[in-house]
Amino acid sequence: MIAKTKFRYLLTVIASIALFSSCINDIDLKDVDDTISMNGAAVFPLAQSTITLKDFIDKLNIDNMTVNSNNVLTVNYKPSTSYSFNLNISPSDVSINTTTPTTLSSKAGTTISAATFNSLSPSQVAEIDLRSLASTNITRLDSIYISNATLSFTLNTNINFAVNQLQLTVTPTPTCFPSLSPTTFTNVRNGSVCTISLTNCWIKPQSSKISLSIATQATSGNIYVPASPSLNSSAALKNINFKYAFGQFAYNLASQTGTFDLGFLNDVISPTSYLPFKNPAFKLTCYSNARIPMQLNIDYIKSYNSSSPSNVRFASFSGSTSTSQAFTKMPSAPGKSAVDSLIFNKTNGNIDNLFTLPGINTIAYSFGAQSQTGGISNQFIMSKDTFTISPSVNIPFAFNAGVNVQMTDTLSLGNSFTDFLNKNDLQNVKLWLIANNFTSTKIAIGLTLLDANKQPFSTTQNLTLNTTLNIDNTTGQATQTSATTDQQLSLAYSATDLKKAQYIKLSYSLAGKDLTTPLTLTSTDFIKVKLCAYVKGSAKLNDN
């Protein structure tokens, strides 16, 4: 029977690969799946395995391993934590006071008629700058859609008006308040507060300011004007809740820091080794409902081993560890959202250089953001808005030319074969490897016999499997598949060694098509091997 195996894997990287010649033999053993005898000899099928590179990667317990459209194995690492920057504007109340008409002073200490009072107290314009709603964030306010708010007017005077003698009329400027009509309040006296409720309406400032005309009029009777008359009112926009606002806005979002734990690399490289990935990428994806041109400020992107965090390697932007780059996608209208990404890779930041640090298992970063002045005229924000940035790392398992990746696979030879060798007088024993290399790379195989404790005791036999695929010289990927070819190789182990062997360890070295071609690992790559033993001598094939 075929001995099924449980695999144990290791991935390391070394600087170069040595290729060894193989022996091709005429005996066709690829279809042997049971013990057969011929001409006084016996052929034992000992063990077989088929390992795909996807299976191998899965054994490393790497989270978020995917396969891209070209079947290239890729790690997509995205932490659960995103960074949300608060773009909220909590509008404060804004107000302005009118002044006492100077004409009233000409009648100080006298009693005048209502008509004379009205002629000496003309209407006044109250102009409120709405940038003061949020002075640090609003540089220009063109319009704001109000869910609810209150326009409030308070009369301040030392003139003693009779009951129902004075009224106050508020006339909003039509361009600022398209949906409001003039409102008159009666029986106004010192300290009276008059209010207008605003609900689901537009306010459209002119040069960021709104204006209203406030007029006080006496309705009848005579009025005594004191020696130092005062008559003014305060106008305020209060308790503001809005849906969205158009204008120009300023934000400076504080830097945030974080790390990617690439601990899986500890399982595949030693502290003195590294994986020179061909084009890994660090991506920052932004989500926003606000139409504000934002610039991302990268303070640094760096790699290190967590056991020695002071030994770092930085991303480089034209020789600098920092850079500022703009997000360009923004929502087109309130209620819509936009997603945009900035990708830092080999050409933008030399991110591949981060992975050439021996023992790398951590990527750290620091970034902030700020709004850009100018650029677009129809900027807007939503109430309770946020600007969210989510970092991620994308690592295709494609490597620079000259890289060597190693895997190991331990197969059990089974007790029945060892017992057979030890109980019979054998003239000749040979071990054969029947292999098929369906990967994008030449493979050097090292085979070592192990005893019952899985300790090596034999000389390692080295063989080479040529790829059966057509490989692109630039990408290192298979561009066209061809018919697979089994290679049949004889292993030079003595009968004495084979009698002691319980396991055989296969070490695969994948090094690309050649030392000048990149190495790209795809999910469809596989290596298939079968071990058979050819024995000749005096033997009992079925020893009970």
Q: Could you report the per-residue pLDDT of 202-211, keeping only the tens digit for each?
A: 999 999 999 9
pLDDT at 464 over 90: no
413 and 374 co-located in one domain:
no
pTM tops 0.85: no
260 and 390 co-located in one domain:
yes
Tell whether 49 is covered by a domain: yes
pLDDT at 1 over 60: no
355 and 406 co-located in one domain:
no
Give me the mean pLDDT over the 279-307 stretch. 93
pLDDT at 4: 31
CA 471 – CA 60 distance, rounded (Å): 26
437 and 502 co-located in one domain:
yes
For residue 143, count other CB atoms closer than 10 A to its CB: 16
For residue 417, count other CB atoms closer than 10 A to its CB: 23
Instruction: Identify the helix (H) or strand (E) that includes residue 421.
Output: helix 415-423
User: Could you tell me the pLDDT band of residue 358, with boundaries at 50, 70 and 90?
Assistant: confident
Q: Could you report the per-residue pLDDT of 112-152, keeping only the tens digit for each?
A: 999 999 999 999 999 999 888 877 788 889 999 999 999 99
More confident residue, 346 or 28: 346
CA 367 – CA 254 distance, rounded (Å): 8
CA 437 – CA 19 distance, rounded (Å): 15
Q: Which domain holds residue 217?
A: 94-239
Report the range of poorest mean pLDDT among 153-157, 381-385, 491-495, 521-525. Answer: 521-525
| Residues in Cβ contact with 102 at an 8 Å cutoff, skipping those fewer than 6 apart | none
Pair 313, 302: CB distance under 8 Å? yes
339 and 476 co-located in one domain:
no
Looking at residue 492, its amino acid is A
263 and 195 co-located in one domain:
no
User: Could you tell me the pLDDT band of residue 12, with boundaries at 50, 70 and 90?
Assistant: very low
pLDDT at 277: 82
Instruction: Identify the helix (H) or strand (E) that includes residue 56.
Output: helix 53-58
Q: Could you report the per-residue pLDDT of 197-236, keeping only the tens digit for each?
A: 999 999 999 999 999 999 999 999 999 999 999 999 999 9
| Residues in Cβ contact with 38 at an 8 Å cutoff, skipping those fewer than 6 apart | none
| Residues in Cβ contact with 481 at an 8 Å cutoff, skipping those fewer than 6 apart | 469, 470
User: Could you tell me the pLDDT band of residue 165, with boundaries at 50, 70 and 90?
Assistant: very high
pLDDT at 477: 59
Of 79, 75, 44, 81, nearest to 61 by C-alpha is 75
* Of 381, 396, 411, the domain-final residue: 396
CA 247 – CA 305 distance, rounded (Å): 47
The segment with the largest mean pLDDT, out of 7-21, 57-71, 106-120, 265-279, is 106-120
The residue count for the chain: 544
pLDDT at 7: 23
Tell whether 246 is covered by a domain: no
Q: CA triplet 66, 70, 73: central angle to 5 degrees? A: 35
Give me the mean pLDDT over the 322-333 stretch. 93
* Of 396, 413, 440, the domain-final residue: 396
Torsion over CA of 466, 468, 470 and 473, rounded to 10 degrees?
-20
158 and 279 co-located in one domain:
no
389 and 436 co-located in one domain:
no
Q: For the chain, what percent of residues have pLDDT higher than 90?
A: 39
CA 377 – CA 324 distance, rounded (Å): 22
pLDDT at 22: 26
Tell whether 174 is covered by a domain: yes
pLDDT at 315: 96
- Backbone φ and ψ for 58, nearest 5 degrees, come out as -60, -35
Pair 424, 106: CB distance under 8 Å? no
Alpha carbon separation from 147 to 202, 239, 290 (Å, rounded): 9, 10, 18
Structure tokens at 189: 């006296």
Tell whether 450 is covered by a domain: yes
Return the residue matching tokens 């008159």.
184
Q: List the CATH number of the domain containing 220.
A: 2.60.120
| Residues in Cβ contact with 491 at an 8 Å cutoff, skipping those fewer than 6 apart | 430, 431, 432, 433, 447, 461, 463
More confident residue, 33 or 24: 33
pLDDT at 405: 62
More confident residue, 349 or 481: 349
> Strand 166-172's sheet: what is its strand order?
124-129, 209-218, 166-172, 183-185
Q: List the CATH number of the domain containing 479.
A: 2.60.120.1540
For residue 304, count other CB atoms closer than 10 A to its CB: 21
User: Could you tell me the pLDDT band of residue 21, with boundaries at 50, 70 and 90?
Assistant: very low
CA 255 – CA 299 distance, rounded (Å): 8
pLDDT at 494 over 90: no
pLDDT at 162: 93
- Please compute, for residue 390, the number of CA atoms within 13 A of its CA located in the half-sphere on the CB side: 13
3-state SS, one letter per residue, for 345-375: CCCCCCHHHHHHCCCCCEEEEEEEEEECCCC
CA 317 – CA 298 distance, rounded (Å): 10
147 and 260 co-located in one domain:
no
Report the range of poorest mean pLDDT among 68-82, 91-105, 308-322, 494-508. Answer: 68-82
Structure tokens at 5: 């195996």
Pair 486, 31: CB distance under 8 Å? no
260 and 227 co-located in one domain:
no
Q: Could you report the per-residue pLDDT of 303-314, keeping only the tens digit for each?
A: 999 888 999 999
Tell whether 413 is covered by a domain: yes
Q: Could you report the per-residue pLDDT of 413-463, keeping only the tens digit for each?
A: 777 777 777 777 666 777 888 887 777 677 778 889 999 899 998 888 888
Report the range of poorest mean pLDDT among 18-32, 93-107, 156-170. Answer: 18-32
Give me the mean pLDDT over the 52-74 stretch. 62
The segment with the largest mean pLDDT, out of 24-38, 40-54, 149-163, 350-364, is 149-163
Tell whether 491 is covered by a domain: yes
Tell whether 477 is covered by a domain: yes
How many structural domains are present in the chain?
Answer: 3
| Residues in Cβ contact with 106 at an 8 Å cutoff, skipping those fewer than 6 apart | 120
Tell whether 350 is covered by a domain: yes
Task: Give first-to-last CA distance, the chain, whole Å.
Answer: 16
Q: Could you report the per-residue pLDDT of 265-280, keeping only the tens digit for each?
A: 766 566 666 777 888 9
pLDDT at 13: 24
User: Could you tell me the pLDDT band of residue 470, with boundaries at 50, 70 and 90?
Assistant: low
pLDDT at 113: 95
User: Could you tell me the pLDDT band of residue 9, with boundaries at 50, 70 and 90?
Assistant: very low
Q: CA triplet 53, 411, 59: central angle to 5 degrees? A: 35
| Residues in Cβ contact with 275 at an 8 Å cutoff, skipping those fewer than 6 apart | 13, 265, 268, 269, 355, 399, 403
pLDDT at 214: 94
Q: For the chain, what percent of residues have pLDDT higher than 70?
A: 76
CA 537 – CA 418 distance, rounded (Å): 15
Residue 118 has what DSSP assignment?
H
Alpha carbon separation from 3 to 49, 328, 499 (Å, rounded): 9, 59, 17
pLDDT at 19: 21
Give me the mean pLDDT over the 53-68 stretch. 59
421 and 304 co-located in one domain:
no
Instruction: Identify the helix (H) or strand (E) that includes residue 499.
Output: helix 495-500
* Of 369, 396, 423, the domain-final residue: 396
Torsion over CA of 239, 245, 248 and 250, rounded to 10 degrees?
60
User: Could you tell me the pLDDT band of residue 476, with boundaries at 50, 70 and 90?
Assistant: low
Q: Could you report the per-residue pLDDT of 376-396, keeping only the tens digit for each?
A: 778 999 888 888 999 998 888
CA 294 – CA 194 distance, rounded (Å): 42
534 and 409 co-located in one domain:
yes
**Ordered DSSP codes for 500-520:** H-SEEEEEEEE--SSTTS-EE
Residue 171 has what DSSP assignment?
E
454 conformational bin, left if phi > 0, alpha if psi -120 to 50, beta if neither: left
Pair 442, 464: CB distance under 8 Å? yes
Give me the mean pLDDT over the 145-161 stretch. 95
Give me the mean pLDDT over the 90-96 stretch. 87
pLDDT at 8: 26
Structure tokens at 274: 């590294």
CB-count burial class (<10 Å; 0-12, 13-18, 19+) for 538 = exposed
